[in-house]
Homo-oligomer: A and B are copies of this chain.
Amino acid sequence: MIRTGIMGYGNLGRGIECAIRQNEDMELKAVFTRRAPEALQILTQGVPVYSAGNVTKYKDDIDVLILCGGSAADLPEQTREYAKYFNVVDSFDTHAKIPQHFEQVDKAATENGHIAVISVGWDPGMFSLNRLYANAILPAGNDYTFWGKGVSQGHSDAIRRVEGVADGKQYTIPSEKALKAVRNGENPQLSVRDKHTRECFVVAEEGADRNKIAEEIKTMPNYFSDYDTTVHFITQDELDKNHSGIPHGGFVIRSGKTGWNQENSHVIEYSLKLDSNPEFTASVIVAYARAAFRMRSEGMTGCKTVFDIAPAYLSPQSGEELRRLLL
């Protein structure tokens, strides 16, 4: 059994807890929280909740500590700190800061003889993997990544900050027209506006000026002004009933040419359609927690990304079983 711990118990932490339950070779030993441990109710019977500050006490009881904090404030500090005491996996997703995060975590993990897998999830994560495989196979080609249809937490937060808005949710929607052109191997040049549209469901406060709200959302720089944005006003009941989930997904497509004179076209497409963004992300992370444990068992240390991990490490099945059943 691979003994795991969860650091941080929000949507992602709960998703990890659910995913561990689906994997018979993995066991949840403890959940760690910065909140008052006695106030936290988790799903798994009999598993203790401890204060995050005491986590190092349990370093001999946990094979892999799964870090469920945020990329902005938590993980840049936490991953390199906890990599001193544990094998860790995080979902650090600030693409531009990954190289720096890697260096810092690699130093801590290597010096202390642990494995730290960073930036696990679906983007970065499975989408990155598919970009790498497709680029290696088709060197002459173009990459396209589309996100959605799905809820953007950041854009939903931005809507809710607009004056007169009581509540709201934003969906990022890939453009069917752009997707079609890419799939046809047309290698289109696509602007930000060409690739995605944004759809907002807004609950206005009583007496608020809806035209003003819609205008303010549509012209909001960084978030909406570069996109075709639709704003729908609905009631709080409708929002709660029809928009309470956290679906997401997207498409990674590479189209490329082969042949002596590049006369043949090929399209490689990977897509995800997810009912729950945090639960799917958690399911990817748990598979990589297994990989971290097995790689460490073979003597490897240091920081790894999905690029550095042979696929077989993710599966509970043996090499022989994998060759027989899945190859």
CB atoms of B133 and A314 under 8 A apart: yes
Interface of A is mostly: helix
Contact of A264 among B95, B279, B323 (CB under 8 A): B279
Per-residue contact bits, chain A 288-319, to B (CB 8 Å; 1 contact, 0 not): 00100000000000000111111110111001
Can you list 22 A-B contacts with CB-CB less than 8 angstroms, sorted by A residue number?
A22-B140, A23-B139, A98-B324, A99-B320, A119-B327, A126-B268, A128-B327, A129-B133, A129-B311, A130-B270, A132-B311, A136-B311, A137-B314, A183-B273, A258-B276, A258-B283, A264-B274, A265-B275, A266-B274, A266-B275, A266-B283, A271-B271
For residue A183, give the distance in angstroms from its CB to the closest CB of chain B. Answer: 7
CB atoms of B264 and A276 under 8 A apart: yes
Per-residue contact bits, chain A 26-66, to B (CB 8 Å; 1 contact, 0 not): 00000000000000000100000000000000000000000
State in angstroms the CA–CA spacing of A284 and B254 once bound together: 14
State in angstroms the CA–CA spacing of A320 and B308 once bound together: 11
CB atoms of A309 and B308 under 8 A apart: no
A22-B258, A185-B273, A267-B273 known; 19 other A-B pairs, CB under 8 Å? Answer: A15-B258, A22-B139, A126-B133, A126-B137, A129-B311, A132-B312, A132-B326, A133-B314, A136-B290, A265-B275, A266-B275, A266-B279, A269-B269, A305-B322, A307-B311, A307-B323, A307-B326, A307-B327, A311-B311
Residues of B contacting A139 in the complex (Cβ-Cβ under 8 angstroms): 22-23
Decide yes or no whether A154 CB sits under 8 A from chain B. Answer: no
- Where the two chains meet, the residues of A that have a C-beta atom closer than 8 Å to any C-beta of B are 15, 17-19, 21-23, 43, 95, 98-99, 102, 119, 124, 126, 128-133, 135-140, 183, 185, 258-260, 264-276, 279-280, 282-284, 287, 290, 305-312, 314-316, 319-320, 322-324, 326-327
Residues of B contacting A119 in the complex (Cβ-Cβ under 8 angstroms): 327
State in angstroms the CA–CA spacing of A115 and B23 once bound together: 33
Contact of A21 among B260, B265, B316 (CB under 8 A): B260
CB atoms of A305 and B280 under 8 A apart: no
State in angstroms the CA–CA spacing of A77 and B131 once bound together: 35
